[in-house]
Structure 1
Amino acid sequence: MGTDTKSYRSLAKSGITSVLRHDLPASLVVFLVAVPLSLGIAVASGAPLAAGLIAAVVGGLVAGSLGGSAVQVSGPAAGLSLVVAEVVTTYGWRATCMITLMAGALQLLLGLFRVARAALAVSPAVVHGMLAGVGVVIALSQLHVVLGGSPQRSAIGNLIELPQQIIHNHSHAVFVGLLTIAVLVGWTRLPQRLRIVPAPLAALFVASATAGALGWDVTRVDLSQSLSEWATPIWPGGDWHGIIGAVLLVALLAGVESLLSSVATDKLHDGKRSDLDRELTAQGVANMVTGALGGLPIAGVIVRSTTNVRAGARSRWSTVMHGLWILVFAVCLGWTITLIPMEALAALLVFIGVQMVNLGHLRNLRGHGEIPIYVATMAGVVLVGLAEGVLFGFGLAMLSALRRLTWITVRAKPEPDGRWHVLIGGSLTFLGVPRLTSELRAVPAGAAVELDLNIDFMDNAAFEAIHTWRHDHERGGGTVDIDEIHDEWYAMAASGARMFPAKTPPRAPERWWLPWAHRRRGRPAPASSLVPAQHPPPEGGPAVHSPAEGSPAVPDLLAGAREFHRRTAPLVRPFLLAMARKQDPSHLFITCADSRVVPNLITASGPGDLFTVRNIGNLVPRLGAAPPDDSVAAAIEYATGALNIQTITVCGHSGCGAMATLLSGYEKATELPALSRWLHHGNHSLARFIATESDGFDDGPLDRLCRVNVIQQLENLRTYPQVDRLVRAGRLQLVGLYFDIGTAQVHVLEQPPLTASPL
């Protein structure tokens, strides 16, 4: 077989074009953000300023080229600054470089052993709390520099001394710092076209230019001294326990932050997902290189990575080139750094520190009850230390997880017929026995009890509690019927069977609501689905014939039918048998033919609930409209005349192709004449769209038309005399629904005004 050199050239040319069009501009944006941040983090870490630039270069060139994430940007991280500052104070800068090198070797080893995903077991509440605590410490210490003073040795000391700094210091340094913060805060409020220059760079430029023009007495950055301090790493002196602890702390914190940043970055783009083991290995190599060259420790940084994605980066070339630009800048334009006031860098750090306390994380953690973990970790970092705060938060997270694992649900309530229904859910262990026995004692003696066990584990103490209560209740004249929903934990324990480890949980059933493509991932298609064959039917079910070879789309359909026969049919057969001769739906449900809209899924309805009509655009042609269409009219007549339905629902959805065609003036349907004729029934919706203004609930013209269309179809229904008569008599209700596919949320549309409220 020959080689298609022309296609290879075309592929290479398209790759180069993409790099020049997308990655090159993105690399320049990230470079402009990375330089001031790297200098500021070096200041916060107590390291030479050049160490920040070295780490940024290595993060781009080494971690960027070897990493497992295509768009993540690595470099010096603010979250590591407290660790580095403490290590520098304890062992000195050259020894800190050796600790960084050894931490990189440890990361490399962990990456080679493919343990990267274990880092994802760390609670995000601990990570976010740690970063928030670091941000508070950085902001408090650097605020003293902004105010013309010197930071204290602890966050509490900085907080105590802050009033004195504010009262007694009013030098030019204060003006520079406040000007820097003012530019950083105000930059986001400028028009988009003026925000091409990143805010940190703009703030440092304005502060430096103003201080120089007005002749303010400020402390300038001295990069020459920083360069003269460079030397090869040396072995740290002191207790080897402390050295090992420092290596572990740098390696684990940098590794966890990098991996979590990779996962977060994956959510920002649609490209290839990150290879976490490769990313951890690359971080290890980069930290070995930066340690050998005298740079700060390196980690994946979410701020720079987010900037990279939003700037349009498509591949790792953006990260690599940003490192190259920093290297060129440091070699050729390093003298410009000496124009920056130290107070401006301190103000930049204050701003970064405040931003690290992200209230958005609190909103996410609130729903999971993890705010105490976040607050405890942050308080521990601020009041005690970084390592202590992280360990405290991690311990609290473990206790919280243990509490949730042992938390049980017990509900006992009487039914109208006099029977009692008891539901027990969760993991039944000895820790839940007191609550379990307390709730069961509430059941009166002699009552008939239906006991549902919805549990995933039962230890001997929990079994003894339930078993003893059952015998006592039955001896008192009552009855207990036990129904185990998931597994027979109670039945097996009562029979004396060995529960663990011989007992293994059953394989989880396929989730019917997942698309076929998702359900077959990791599962080879059965060979029987590719050749003609007749499979024996389940009891009471029909045979399923597989397609002839060469029909690749059919096996999924037949595999789904077999799945229905195997798992679902036995569950639904009893009540389907009861309604086999007659249907009695309560709703007529009119919706779009779009494959992403599944009526039974979004309404949690079952067989016999919905009488459904589906067409392109969920349209209801007005009575007597041209071109005539009897299909929808026949369904309306039958539903209202024969089925006596109580509700007619019209359900639209986001991103409807029919509405997009209407907006385009039928341009998208020029090759589809039947579709063009059908969509003329949507002209009233288009006219209504033009005549109404947005109410702020929509996400653009298409979204608004999709919503307006639902309201218009409800009005079209009133053109049918039977529908209008039943609505006026109060015997029929018209409902408009809107399904937002992206958020998987159903909204109720009211008419008029056109508003939406989440269900």
Structure 2
Amino acid sequence: MRPDAQGTRAGNGKGAGRTADAPTPPPTRPSGLRHTLPADLGASLVVFLVAVPLSLGIAVASGAPLIAGIIAAAVGGIVAGSVGGSAVQVSGPAAGLTVIVAGLVHTYGWQVTCLITVLAGVVQLLLGLFRIARAALAVSPAVIHGMLAGVGATIALAQLHIVLGGAPQSSALANIAELPEQVIDNHNPAVAVGLVTIAVMLVWPRLPALGPIQPGRIPPALAAVGAATALGVLTDWPLERVALPDSFTAAWTGPALPQADQVNGIIVAVATVALVASVESLLAAIAVDRMHDGRRVRLDRELTGQGAANVVSGALGGLPVAGVIVRSTANVRAGARTPLAAVLHGVWVIAFVALFAPAVELIPMAALAGLLVFIGLKMINVAHLRDLRRQHEAGVYAVTLCGVVALGLLEGVLIGFGLALVVSLRRLTRVTVLTEDNGGRRHVVVQGSLTFLGVPRVAQTLRAVPTGAHVDLDLHVDFMDHAAFESIHAWRVDHERTGGTVDIDEVHENWYERNSRNAPPLVKTPPRGLARWWAPWGMRGPSSGPSSGPPSAPAAGLGATSGLLAAGAREYHASTTGRMRAVMGRLAHRQRPKALFIACADSRVVPNLITASGPGDLFTLRNIGNLVPRHNPGGGDDSVGAAIEYAVTVLEVPSIVVCGHSHCGAMRALLEGGADSTDDARLGQLGRWLRHAEHGAPADPSTLGQPPTAEAIRHLSQANILRQLENLLSYPSVQRRSAEGRLELTGLYYDLESARVHVLDERGDRFVALHPEQVPGPAGPVPGEARPDPDPDPDGAGAADVAR
């Protein structure tokens, strides 16, 4: 069963009682051309206004004819929009391909580059037809983002020279070296136009609305290029401007065959263009899918559409085409509903250039260069870097970026891809070795995947074990290869030969044991039945033993529930007993628990689960409401008192924990009837028992008889924890050992809905949430050691407030 279909979910006060099996469907929009056409038409106009300046700028940066950018924009919209698998993605000339295309034009010329575009499209068509589009997503996002950032830096460095009135150099490093001289020596009108373009791009999205003037409705690229063009026209500066051909027929330069000695390079170029364009398009399509609630992208069909667009674009003399996130985002935000918006944007591009070519030719080339500087810098996305740092992949990003800038796109991507593989291999084979000395017994824990790469570390730790020592070796590994087995086995033989003893416990599969008796090797994937051992029977998979329902042939006299218990016991014997035998053998003759854990009898609260503790760690006392009656020498609750005295005086536990929880039925009963209801005949023994918590009942009579809220139950539950901690101190043994500093009293609160544990802080006036990073290691969380949460009490007042 899926996690989102696991029965009723507890409410949070809003919409309680709604089940996950019947989620409320999202609101659907009317379909049909009559309903979608207005939205698609408006979105197509917005994207068209973004596409024209960007397409011209990318053509300039690629060293291609300006008309090639217009052709690619039109073909990307019409062909990829019609054939592709995304509802809202817009395709066209992509900045991520600029460096590749510029290198191809420089090496092979424009016509051969058109042939490369056609062949790359054919490769994409084949990849889409063979349904392997998802294979392109195997490339690490760190490499993709690093590549795009490197391309952006390269574009920005080259175009910055044009903005400053000079000419770009042959490489990014040469551009960096020449930049100081360019800044000092060149101060012509082109500099002013380029800087105005960049300034408008920066400022435009931040301008406030002034009455009917809404800057947010005009794309920044259009506003920047329009402002720069107006400046050039009004000042009549001598500027280089866009030059379009008089007619498409006269300007058309289709694909041409390469020379014989260029074939090998052409093959590499085709593979590079196809791979980069495919990965960029698919990643953009997936990213755009998160922005709308329409039809989800069909990746294989989208790749087929991109291939068809590249075949047509290359044949017509256009730039390579890819799905682009900037135009796609503008399309979604403008309200696009169907691929018709992308198709119409391509139509508007053709119509505009055909009808308003003189207006396009007023655009200064420096304005396009300034636009590309801004776009290049935006491609270095700091947000991606922050995300990658959290995943420890920032190094891959940085190496790929530097490699693309210093060596070239293909070299940088190969270096980044190789580093990503090394990082992944290191993660898959990472092993952690922990040691602890317990009174002459050395405890060694090995965690992770134990392969030959981890053997040196494990061997170094084992060799440091003193001769003759008794060693408890816990192999908490999900895989062990033969090299690791031989290393551990050889050490064990040597250690036992010199008088030591070794007790090996295997927490997962018995890798070491099976290797010892030459049994067939295990697969690394654990059995499906144990994947969610902690979940209730009804929420596990169909093959998880007791979750599949009552046994088909239960033992005589067993009902359905008893049958489940028996099936669960059989699963325990099949999967766990063998691994627990050594642990329980050491615990069988003596228990040394770390805490007396007083918890509610509620079936949803599992002390060993929420404290990550095992057998022998907790001496557990459970009752209705986690109550501790005050010490009464004349006769009180002997059961609770006996457990407390035994834990403190005989077992000498160093800690007592009182754990309450949200949605507690005992606290609800108190709130529904108040303190006076605990002697009601209808409650019987339960009523007499709840008198031990009657201090927390509401004092306001107006609340009596009303259904209590979750917030009120939480307040009372936390106040009840404080009172039971006070009651513990009424026991002489507890008070004495606490005064001597040998006994710690701790309060815990378990929130059922968030599954988070909160601990009473040192001042005893607030429950704060524990964080994963506070766990000190394999020993598990230590009660009372908590770092304040940024929002330490998200539900409201602190414990001291509710106690008052």
What's the TM-score bracket when you normalise by the shorter of the two chains? 0.7 to 0.9
* Equivalent of residue 74 in structure 1, options 91, 102, 107: 91
* Equivalent of residue 364 in structure 1, options 382, 387, 396: 387
Inter-CA distance 70–538: structure 2 relative to 1 (3 Å threshold): farther
Check if 1:507 corresponds to 2:527.
yes
The structural deviation recorded for 1:734 is: 7.8
Quick one: which amino acid aligns to residue 641 of structure 1? H
Query: Residue 230 of structure 1 corresponds to which residue in structure 2?
Result: 252
Q: Distance in 2 between matches of 1:539 and 1:458?
A: 43
Q: How does 1:201-240 map to 2 (within 5 A)?
A: 201-224=222-245, 227=248, 228-237=250-259, 238-240=261-263
Quick one: which amino acid aligns to residue 288 of structure 1? V
Q: Is this contact kept in 1: 2:663–2:752, CA < 8 A?
A: no
Identity %: 51
Q: Is this contact kept in 1: 2:759–2:767, CA < 8 A?
A: no
Q: Distance in 2 between matches of 1:718 and 1:196?
A: 55
Inter-CA distance 350–570: structure 2 relative to 1 (3 Å threshold): same
* Equivalent of residue 453 in structure 1, options 440, 461, 475: 475
Q: How many residues align?
A: 661
Inter-CA distance 588–71: structure 2 relative to 1 (3 Å threshold): farther
Query: Residue 113 of structure 1 corresponds to which residue in structure 2?
Result: 130
For each residue in 1:574-624, what CA deviation from the matched residue of structure 2 results, as whole angstroms up to 9, or x when unmatched?
99xx9xxxx985456999x9xxx99999887999696545289x9898798
The structural deviation recorded for 1:188 is: 2.5
Q: Distance in 2 between matches of 1:514 and 1:323?
A: 53
Query: Residue 198 of structure 1 corresponds to which residue in structure 2?
Result: 219
Query: Residue 426 of structure 1 corresponds to which residue in structure 2?
Result: 448
Inter-CA distance 736–525: structure 2 relative to 1 (3 Å threshold): closer
Check if 1:485 corresponds to 2:507.
yes
Inter-CA distance 481–13: structure 2 relative to 1 (3 Å threshold): closer
Check if 1:293 corresponds to 2:316.
yes
Q: Is this contact kept in 2: 1:627–1:678, CA < 8 A?
A: no
Quick one: which amino acid aligns to residue 175 of structure 2? N
Q: How does 1:605-644 map to 2 (within 5 A)?
A: 612-614=661-663, 641=692
The structural deviation recorded for 1:419 is: 2.3
Q: Distance in 2 between matches of 1:75 and 1:490?
A: 57
Inter-CA distance 260–428: structure 2 relative to 1 (3 Å threshold): same
Q: Distance in 2 between matches of 1:90 and 1:440?
A: 59
Query: Residue 741 of structure 2 corresponds to which residue in structure 1?
Result: none
Query: Residue 56 of structure 2 corresponds to which residue in structure 1?
Result: 39
Inter-CA distance 446–538: structure 2 relative to 1 (3 Å threshold): farther
Which protein has the larger Cα radius of gyration, Structure 1 or Structure 2? Answer: 2
Query: Residue 421 of structure 2 corresponds to which residue in structure 1?
Result: 398
Q: Distance in 2 between matches of 1:131 and 1:234?
A: 29
Under a length normalisation based on structure 1, what TM-score does the superposition of the two structures give? 0.74
Query: Residue 388 of structure 1 corresponds to which residue in structure 2?
Result: 411
Check if 1:757 corresponds to 2:790.
yes
The structural deviation recorded for 1:726 is: 6.5
Which range moved further: 27-36 or 603-612?
A: 603-612
Q: Distance in 2 between matches of 1:544 and 1:320?
A: 61
The structural deviation recorded for 1:292 is: 1.2
Q: Is this contact kept in 1: 2:747–2:760, CA < 8 A?
A: no
Q: How does 1:525-674 map to 2 (within 5 A)?
A: 535-537=552-554, 543=560, 567=571, 586=598, 612-614=661-663, 641=692
The structural deviation recorded for 1:482 is: 1.4
Q: Is this contact kept in 1: 2:599–2:607, CA < 8 A?
A: no
Query: Residue 80 of structure 2 corresponds to which residue in structure 1?
Result: 63
Q: Distance in 2 between matches of 1:39 and 1:516?
A: 62
For each residue in 1:304-353, what CA deviation from the matched residue of structure 2 results, as whole angstroms up to 9, or x when unmatched?
22333333334333333333332332333343211211111100100011
Stretches of structure 2 that go unaligned for 5 or more consecutive residues are 1-27, 585-589, 615-619, 623-657, 697-702, 731-737, 739-743, 769-787, 793-804
The structural deviation recorded for 1:746 is: 8.3
* Equivalent of residue 346 in structure 2, options 323, 329, 335: 323
The structural deviation recorded for 1:738 is: 8.1
Inter-CA distance 63–637: structure 2 relative to 1 (3 Å threshold): farther
Q: Is this contact kept in 2: 1:589–1:611, CA < 8 A?
A: no
RMSD (CA atoms): 4.8
* Equivalent of residue 498 in structure 2, options 461, 468, 476: 476
Quick one: which amino acid aligns to residue 220 of structure 1? R
Inter-CA distance 539–110: structure 2 relative to 1 (3 Å threshold): farther
Inter-CA distance 626–278: structure 2 relative to 1 (3 Å threshold): farther
Inter-CA distance 140–722: structure 2 relative to 1 (3 Å threshold): closer
3-state DSSP of counterpart to 1:339: coil
Q: Is this contact kept in 1: 2:722–2:747, CA < 8 A?
A: no
3-state DSSP of counterpart to 1:446: coil
Query: Residue 171 of structure 1 corresponds to which residue in structure 2?
Result: 188
Which range moved further: 419-428 or 127-136?
A: 419-428
3-state DSSP of counterpart to 2:159: helix
Query: Residue 327 of structure 2 corresponds to which residue in structure 1?
Result: 304
Check if 1:378 corresponds to 2:401.
yes
* Equivalent of residue 122 in structure 1, options 123, 136, 139: 139
Stretches of structure 1 that go unaligned for 5 or more consecutive residues are 1-10, 547-557, 649-674, 683-705
Quick one: which amino acid aligns to residue 428 of structure 1? L
The structural deviation recorded for 1:366 is: 1.5
Q: Is this contact kept in 1: 2:749–2:757, CA < 8 A?
A: no
Q: Is this contact kept in 2: 1:377–1:393, CA < 8 A?
A: yes
3-state DSSP of counterpart to 2:31: helix
Q: Distance in 1 between matches of 2:207 and 2:676?
A: 53
3-state DSSP of counterpart to 1:285: helix
Inter-CA distance 72–519: structure 2 relative to 1 (3 Å threshold): farther
Q: Is this contact kept in 2: 1:31–1:325, CA < 8 A?
A: yes
Query: Residue 103 of structure 1 corresponds to which residue in structure 2?
Result: 120
Quick one: which amino acid aligns to residue 331 of structure 1? A
Query: Residue 689 of structure 1 corresponds to which residue in structure 2?
Result: none
Q: Distance in 2 between matches of 1:379 and 1:529?
A: 54
3-state DSSP of counterpart to 1:445: coil
The structural deviation recorded for 1:181 is: 0.7
Q: Distance in 2 between matches of 1:114 and 1:640?
A: 69
Q: Distance in 2 between matches of 1:195 and 1:637?
A: 68
Inter-CA distance 584–69: structure 2 relative to 1 (3 Å threshold): farther
Q: Distance in 2 between matches of 1:81 and 1:627?
A: 80
Q: Distance in 2 between matches of 1:565 and 1:79?
A: 59
The structural deviation recorded for 1:225 is: 6.2
Check if 1:26 corresponds to 2:27.
no
The structural deviation recorded for 1:388 is: 1.0
Under a length normalisation based on structure 2, what TM-score does the superposition of the two structures give? 0.71
Q: How does 1:658-737 map to 2 (within 5 A)?
A: 714=715
Inter-CA distance 507–210: structure 2 relative to 1 (3 Å threshold): same
Q: Is this contact kept in 2: 1:425–1:455, CA < 8 A?
A: yes
Quick one: which amino acid aligns to residue 421 of structure 1? H
For each residue in 1:114-160, what CA deviation from the matched residue of structure 2 results, as whole angstroms up to 9, or x when unmatched?
22222122111111111111111100000011111111111111111
3-state DSSP of counterpart to 1:27: helix
Q: Distance in 1 between matches of 2:721 and 2:49?
A: 65
Q: Distance in 2 between matches of 1:589 and 1:213?
A: 83
Inter-CA distance 725–479: structure 2 relative to 1 (3 Å threshold): closer
Q: Distance in 2 between matches of 1:61 and 1:714?
A: 62
